[in-house]
């Protein structure tokens, strides 16, 4: 086979591969409007690292308002008004990064949902670019309620623990709908680093964050 034919064949293969991935991505987003993901790459990582997958998918209505308010207060207070991206938070994160300060990302709940459901963990530009594409698609097709439900069902909330229902059972021995305001705030306080922090044995930093979330929850209005 001459080099020209080989290059042409590779180009055709790449085009077919890209087209197939685009179609699968669209189908995945459409399916995600109606069902929770069977499993995610992050959950597979939890199985590999901790030898377990503790999760229990529940509906939006079964989650309880305290949990929703706590997570929105902690992670994305503009959730119901932005289009998937909080440009002010992104700008602040960019400026802090340029100043050499510890980066506390500007990711919204929508962006985190796109990452958790469809992609992998990490900070590469490729992943961030794909995250932006999936964020745009789920904002257009899912709506805020579905996005928040998928987020609260898929997010890592402990070592091998995923989703708010499993976290409520793991930390407090109860269903998420029965969590008190304080208990919901404790779970939200461990985000975005649930492998490091433990609400059962909180550090002084976690206690301050918990108190801050409790105050911020008073400002959250669910749609």
- Which tokens is 113 given? 């949902």
142: pLDDT confidence band, cut at 50, 70 and 90?
very high
Round to whole Å and give the CA distance between 51 and 159: 10
> What is the structure's pLDDT at 192?
84
Round to whole Å and give the CA distance between 125 and 54: 30
As a whole-number percent, the residues of the chain with pLDDT over 70 amount to 90
The whole-number average pLDDT for the span 12-37 is 83
pLDDT at 185 > cutoff 80 = yes
Chain center to CA of 60: 15
Is residue 70 within 8 A of residue 217, CB to CB? The reply is yes
Burial (0-12, 13-18, 19+ Cβ within 10 Å), 101: exposed
pLDDT at 17 > cutoff 60 = yes
Supply the DSSP symbol for 190.
T
138's torsion region: left (phi>0), alpha (psi -120 to 50) or beta?
Answer: alpha
16: pLDDT confidence band, cut at 50, 70 and 90?
confident
DSSP of 91-134, one letter per residue? HHHHHHHHTTPPP-----HHHHHHHHHHS-SS--HHHHHHHHHH
Q: Taking all residues of the chain, what is their mean pLDDT, rounded to a whole number?
A: 88
The predicted-structure confidence for 190-218, as pLDDT tens digits, reads as follows 998 888 898 988 999 999 999 999 999 99
Pairing mode of beta strands 54-55, 156-158: unpaired
> What is the structure's pLDDT at 183?
97
> What is the structure's pLDDT at 43?
94
pLDDT at 172 > cutoff 60 = yes
- Which tokens is 49 given? 């690292």
Q: What's the farthest any 2 CA atoms get from each other in the chain?
A: 70
The predicted-structure confidence for 106-133, as pLDDT tens digits, reads as follows 789 999 999 999 998 877 888 889 999 9
Is residue 70 within 8 A of residue 171, CB to CB? The reply is no
All structural domains of the chain = 33-217 (1.10.3810.10)
The whole-number average pLDDT for the span 155-178 is 95
> What is the structure's pLDDT at 14?
78
Is residue 56 within 8 A of residue 177, CB to CB? The reply is no
> What is the structure's pLDDT at 4?
60
The predicted-structure confidence for 84-112, as pLDDT tens digits, reads as follows 988 877 777 666 666 665 555 578 999 99
The whole-number average pLDDT for the span 72-88 is 92
Q: Is residue 9 helix, strand or coil?
A: helix
């Amino acid at each position: 086979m001459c080099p020209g034919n080989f290059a042409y064949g590779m180009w055709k293969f790449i085009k077919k591969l890209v087209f197939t991935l685009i179609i699968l991505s669209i189908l995945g987003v459409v399916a995600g409007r109606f069902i929770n993901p069977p499993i995610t790459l992050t959950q597979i990582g939890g199985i590999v690292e901790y030898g377990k997958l503790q999760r229990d998918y529940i509906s939006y209505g079964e989650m309880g308002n305290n949990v929703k308010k706590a997570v929105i207060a902690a992670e994305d207070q503009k959730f119901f008004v932005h289009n998937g991206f909080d440009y002010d938070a992104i700008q602040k994160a960019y400026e802090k990064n340029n100043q050499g300060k510890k980066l506390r990302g500007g990711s919204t709940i929508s962006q985190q949902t796109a990452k958790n459901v469809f992609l992998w963990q990490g900070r590469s530009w490729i992943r961030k670019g794909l995250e932006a594409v999936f964020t745009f698609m789920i904002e257009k097709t899912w709506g805020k309620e579905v996005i928040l439900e998928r987020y609260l069902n898929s997010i890592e909330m402990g070592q091998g623990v995923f989703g708010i229902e499993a976290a409520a059972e793991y930390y407090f021995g109860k269903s998420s709908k029965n969590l008190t305001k304080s208990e919901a705030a404790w779970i939200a306080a461990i985000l975005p680093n649930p492998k490091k922090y433990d609400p059962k044995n909180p550090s002084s930093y976690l206690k301050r964050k918990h108190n801050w979330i409790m105050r911020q929850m008073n400002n959250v209005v669910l749609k």
